[in-house]
Amino acid sequence: MLPKVRDSLSYLYVEHCRIDQEHKAIAIHEEQGKVPVPCATLSLLMLGPGTSISHAAVLTLADNGCLVVWCGEQGVRFYAQGMGETRSTAKVLHQAHLCCDSTLRLQVVRNIYIARFTPGELDPSLTIQQLRGREGIRVREAYTIASRENGVPWHGRNYDRSQWTKADSVNRALSVANSCLYGICHAAIVSAGYSPALGFIHTGKQLSFVYDIADLYKADVTIPLAFRTAAEGSNELDRRIRLACRDAFKGSKILARILPDIDRILTVSVAAPLPDNGGEEDEGDYDADAAAPGPLWDPHEGTVPGGQSFGEDDAKPESPANTHEQDTSPKTDITSGTSKSTPKVNPETTSKSPDINEEEGRERPS
């Protein structure tokens, strides 16, 4: 049985190395030698530049529920991701239901803002614009406090991604720390079966929900950590901040907090039932057998069992008026706008033409 996400290690960032499968784990090969990694307890593996990984290693990581992310140098850019641990859609359907209903989405947005403050600190009557303003004040105060406590000058969040090395030390430290935080939140979100793209405050990007969740922890974790690390000097800053994040994430037990926080955020007072799964197998069944056939959506019954053939005996006429005779009512030619009558056709004397308009099934990658 795989360990729970709350019991897992946080993340591992590697670059300029080769990764292979070794028994039921993986091994990292670099100039200094080989390092075995027990991926069953690892939540996130971040692959930086110069990294090659074997097919068998990716398979082992996927089987152990470890999310693989391909990223830029120091983990500050995100390029691609692997697959999460769960195979159930129950939570992402619930998330989508809340996201697509404006009334329910507004409640979730309020929950997210309220979760960033101490209980009772916010007036329930505040509008979203007022909540957004209070959040801005809270973040600016966090920067000011961290700057004063660590003696690091703060001139605002400002850096150019195309000229990374020209940014001041604290801005670089903040970017690296937040990138690590995004990776941990991303891994927890995907492992639980939520979509990282369906955000509530943030929207329009594939990591919108990751940003919503990560913002819960920045003021308490990454902001003070970045200023403290920057105050120690700029030598090997990126590496030191990553190691500091690893220790801070473990010390604050952030993996144990993310999923319960998401559950609280997505709990709304207005009834928001999960979409009817029509007898769909539970999450454990899909996780035990990822190839098990799922149900088929039906406009009348919700869902019908999948993995079986539906022949002519299962076909239902849409109305009692259906007959084997051809419809002779006037038809409109959509290209010319004129009406045409379709003559009756004797099915016994008409030759069968090849199926040239058969619809092709297309599956979009997730």
pLDDT reported for residue 338: 46
Residue 243 or 317, more confident: 243
Distance CA 14, CA 28 (A): 9
pLDDT (average), residues 230-241: 91
Average pLDDT over residues 267-273: 63
Residue type, 189: I
The pLDDT of 68-77, averaged and rounded, is 71
Residue-wise pLDDT tens digits, 11-38? 788 889 999 999 889 999 998 889 999 8
Alpha-carbon gap, residue 366 to 362, rounded angstroms: 12
pLDDT for position 335: 43
pLDDT at 309: 59
Q: List the beta bridge partners of residue 44.
A: 11, 67
Intervals of CATH 3.100.10.20 along the chain: 5-81
pLDDT of residue 62: 85
pLDDT at position 244 over 70: yes
Query: 3-state class of 67 per DSSP?
Result: strand
Cα distances (angstroms) measured from residue 38 to each of 14, 47, 93, 234, 242: 15, 16, 32, 32, 20
Q: pLDDT, tens digit, for every residue of 157-202?
A: 887 767 767 789 999 999 999 988 998 888 788 878 899 999 999 9
| Contact (Cβ atoms closer than 8 angstroms) between residue 2 and residue 85 | yes
User: Does the pLDDT of residue 361 top 80, yes or no?
Assistant: no
The most confident of 154-163, 292-301, 348-357, by mean pLDDT: 154-163
Hey, what CATH class is 90-265 in? mainly alpha
Largest CA distance in the chain: 93
Whole-Å CA distances, 333 to 122, 330, 341, 353: 62, 10, 10, 22
Q: Which residues, at least 6 apart from 170, have a Cβ–Cβ distance to it below 8 Å? A: 147, 152, 154, 226, 227, 230
Q: Is the pLDDT assigned to residue 86 strictly greater than 80? A: no
Percentage of the chain with pLDDT > 90? 38
Between 290 and 336, the more confident residue is 290
pLDDT for 285: 57
pLDDT for 114 beyond 50: yes
What is the per-residue pLDDT across 139-165, written as a single tens digit (0 to 9) for each?
A: 999 999 999 999 999 999 887 767 767
User: Rounded to the nearest 5°, which phi and psi values hold at 45?
Assistant: -115, 120
- Check whether 325 has a pLDDT greater than 50: no
Amino acid 186: pLDDT? 86
User: Is the pLDDT confidence value at 74 over 70?
Assistant: no
pLDDT at 192: 83
Average pLDDT of the chain, as a whole number? 77
Residue 220 has pLDDT above 90, yes or no: yes
For the cut 60, the answer to whether the pLDDT of residue 258 exceeds it is: yes
pLDDT number for residue 224 = 96
From CA 345, how far away is CA 325, in angstroms rounded?
8
Instruction: Please list the residue range(s) of the chain that carry CATH number 1.20.120.920.
Output: 90-265
Q: Band of the pLDDT at 115, cuts 50, 70, 90?
A: very high
- Which CATH number, 3.100.10.20, 3.40.50.620, 1.10.10.10, 3.40.50.300, labels domain 5-81? 3.100.10.20
SS3 of 45-60: the string is EEECCCEEECHHHHHH
Supply the pLDDT for residue 274. 46
% of the chain residues with pLDDT over 70: 69
Mean pLDDT, residues 272-285 = 47
DSSP state of 201: S
